[in-house]
A and B are shown apart, each in its own frame.
Chain A
Amino acid sequence: MNIESTTPVAPNDSESQRPVPEAIRQGASATTESTQNSQRRIRRSKTFYGICVSVSFLSIVVLAVLLISIAVQGRSRLTPTLLTGAHSTSEPASSGMYPAIIGSLSICAVCALSALPLGIGTAIFLEEFQPTNPWLRRLHGFLNLNISNLAGVPSIVYGLLGLSLFVFMFNAFGQIKVNESSGTELMGVERYYQILTLAGGGDSVLVRQTDLALPTITITEPIEAVDRDGNTFRLEVWDPKSGTPKPKDPATQHRTVRLGQSGGAYAKTSWYYFRLPFGRSFLAAGLTLSLVILPIVIIAAQEALRSVSPSLREASYGLGATKWQTVRNVSLPAAIPGIMTGAILAMGRAIGEAAPILVVLGATVAKNSGPQNLMDTVVTMPVLIFHWAGDPQVTYQQLAAAAIIVLLLVLLLMNSLAIYLRQKIRVE
């Protein structure tokens, strides 16, 4: 509308008469003083730029020196054996890290499967929901405040937490002892005694173990047994002192044992063998690592969700979307790239962690395969590297360097996969 035609309103009048501040008038004119001033500031800015460049260059140089020295040291051990072999105490030259690679990857899988849904869920709760319930609201505030503190807790503390929480479960299900049935077994295991038959040559049959407290059994009378194919049959007893001749027929020999023959406990486990507590298993280790990275995942996901424009959320609510529909269709898709970035960083951290693994699984590296079931222990790359690097033999030192290269490559591979996925999601 035409403002000139109307008389100016009173307040504007007095405003316009206020004198222009001295500082502004000076600044506006290009005196020699102000030119010098700006020259000085430009110089200062350039100096700062130079410092930044040299500092970042320095860190790159340090990294390069590290990588080159490792590459030089480990070059001779970068052989196929490194990827296929297992740690050997007697033959350092044929040692490899296959079990460690599989071990690290399986721990990472457990870690990702538990930490990502939990972390993203928590972030959604913290960012997208304003609880009305006073207790929930208190929890909301408390979590929000403390998550960044949790991210700063040293990982060994999480290791100790994992030890009592997952490995022993506060002994609520009984103490875990090595190589012994313990805790509460829920599924995936059948326990037997293994007994040598008359057939000889190591031929044995299995007898179901009924009392887990008895580590051995002594056969004194015929008993029900199971053969290798899982068929049950009656196991006969032959008493050498009774005078009856030893059966000659191999089939009979296979079904007969000497009187007083004893057998040790033998556990037949499936991959889904599951018991409480988890013991020194890769499941426990993975869950412990997920505690370590959970705060990182939560913070990254929170940050990503926070950066989703509120106007998109409003648009969704405005169309009648429920909270869940909005999270599912608008907030999460927009936040996924950021969440993935956080997840990559977190997984990188997890795969390189040694301290909590040492606490949870111990320092043992004597394992020549990946995990056979959920309760199996594993060797991980950082622990193996730690072990090798501490060995006085030169070969192990070289192996450690080579293993570091492999670890870095695995990390690189994982990251590129995640970046590829992120890019793909972004394009869609």
Chain B
Amino acid sequence: MIPEQTQPIRLAIDMPQSASATNAPTTDTSAPSPADASQSAEELCIEISHFNAWYGSFQAIHDLSLDIRRNQVTAFIGPSGCGKSTLLRWINRMNDIVPTAHSNGTLRIHDLDVLSPSTDVVHLRRQVGMVFQKPNPFPKTIYENVAFGPRLHLKLRRGELDELVEWSLRKAAVWDEVKDRLNAPALGLSGGQQQRLCIARAIAVGPEILLMDEPCSALDPASTLAIEDLIYELREQYTIVMVTHNMQQASRCSDRTAFFFEGRLVESGPTDDVFTKPQQKRTDDYVRGRFG
């Protein structure tokens, strides 16, 4: 994680870059290029094929096929209502909560058939953590928030739990900010800190995949950059799928990008390719901000 002081500088670097649409994919000098990593790890992690999803009789996703690779950041982009969140919420079966939601097709994580009714969703959700659009810490202390997940699954001694909480908070790059007030209410943190706390909470149960639904959309630019840096770091150990409406964010911190439109996958590929030489006219229009 880049120290706090350098954030304004990064901000300064990013601003001019984002102003010109044509050279958007220029690699960011202050962080390793997404392109570097995309070469190394190509192992398949989530395999989606011919996937359809409905809310009642409304079909939100049509015949969608997509591979998500391990230890990469995959960004879902597309106009509002195109089904990004829906797909994300099917990956960890979060849509089970919605009574009208149903789906068919194939959605596998390694060997696990996610959609099968016999799948143990508790185990699945432990493997696939989720971070939501709005930071949603529990109205408990910071410590209790991070300890919540591990406590659900394991019987840990106090010392082990302390260690796990510290590890998670360090990993989520908030440890330095909260280490002196672990027993303070989590709702007293700033929005950006809350969101990183939520990330810490998600990784404390030891997931392999992290789903992030617009994790920065409720945050200010500085917090956004902190989270983006964090996502970059986390990629080493986690497979990350994130939804974003921010083109710069997608280009800055994702390895691969998938563009959705009206419930269909229009195009997916390495982020550089999607942004510089999109195959589809609609993708081109969207990444250039012509609609959406």
Binding site for B on A (CB under 8 A): 1-3, 5-6, 9, 130, 309, 311-322, 325, 329-330, 334
Contact = CB atoms under 8 A, between A and B. Distances in A.
B125 A3 contact: no
Given A2-B289, A314-B97, A334-B139, 4 more contacts: A315-B138, A319-B202, A320-B205, A330-B138
B201 A319 contact: yes
A301 B4 CA distance: 45
A319 B18 contact: no
A27 to B, nearest CB: 30
Given A314-B97, A315-B136, A2 B125 contact: no
Nearest to B120: A320
Contacts of A318: 92, 94, 125, 129-130, 132, 202
Nearest to A310: B97
Contacts of A330: 138
A320 B125 contact: yes
A334 B18 CA distance: 42
A320 B201 CA distance: 12
Contacts of B198: 315
Interface string B127-152: 00110101011110000000011001
A2 B19 contact: yes
Contact of A312 (B94, B124, B136): B136
B3 interface: no
A324 B205 CA distance: 18
8 contacts: A311-B136, A312-B139, A315-B201, A317-B94, A319-B149, A320-B125, A321-B152, A334-B139
Nearest to B131: A318
Contacts of A321: 122, 152
A426 to B, nearest CB: 10
Specify which of A3, A6, A318 lies most central, judged by the most chain B CB atoms within 10 Å of its CB: A318
Interface string B149-167: 1001100000000000000
A327 to B, nearest CB: 13
B94 A314 contact: yes
A320 B149 contact: yes
Given A130-B99, A309-B136, A314-B132, A320 B21 contact: no
A320 B94 contact: no
Contacts of A316: 138, 148
B97 A317 contact: yes
Contacts, number: 79
A313 B138 CA distance: 9
Contacts of A3: 289-290
A112 to B, nearest CB: 26
A319 to B, nearest CB: 4
Contacts of B136: 309, 311-312, 314-315
B84 interface: no
B109 to A, nearest CB: 14
Nearest to B99: A130
A8 B73 CA distance: 33
B122 A322 contact: yes
B155 to A, nearest CB: 14
B241 to A, nearest CB: 14
Contact of B288 (A1, A313, A317, A322): A1
Interface in B154-199: 198
B134 A6 contact: no
B19 A320 contact: no
A392 to B, nearest CB: 58
9 interchain residue pairs of minimum CB distance:
A1-B289, A318-B130, A319-B149, A320-B125, A311-B136, A320-B126, A1-B21, A315-B136, A320-B122
A6 B97 contact: no
Given A318-B202, A320-B123, A329-B148, A311 B20 contact: no
A319 B148 contact: yes
B89 to A, nearest CB: 9
Nearest to A319: B149
A334 B187 CA distance: 14
A309 B132 CA distance: 13
Contacts of B153: 320
Contacts of A6: 288-290
A202 to B, nearest CB: 65
Given A318-B94, A320-B125, A1 B152 contact: no
A314 B129 CA distance: 11
A315 B122 CA distance: 13
A319 B198 CA distance: 10
Contacts of B149: 319-320
A175 B97 CA distance: 51
A5 B198 CA distance: 39
A314 to B, nearest CB: 7
A1 B134 contact: no
Nearest to B151: A329
B24 interface: yes
A330 B148 CA distance: 10
Contacts of B132: 311, 314-315, 318
Nearest to B287: A1
B66 interface: no
A347 B290 CA distance: 62
Interface in B93-135: 94, 97, 99, 121-126, 129-130, 132, 134
A9 B289 CA distance: 11
A205 B92 CA distance: 76
A2 B20 contact: yes
B135 to A, nearest CB: 9
Contacts of B130: 314, 318
A389 to B, nearest CB: 48
A12 to B, nearest CB: 9
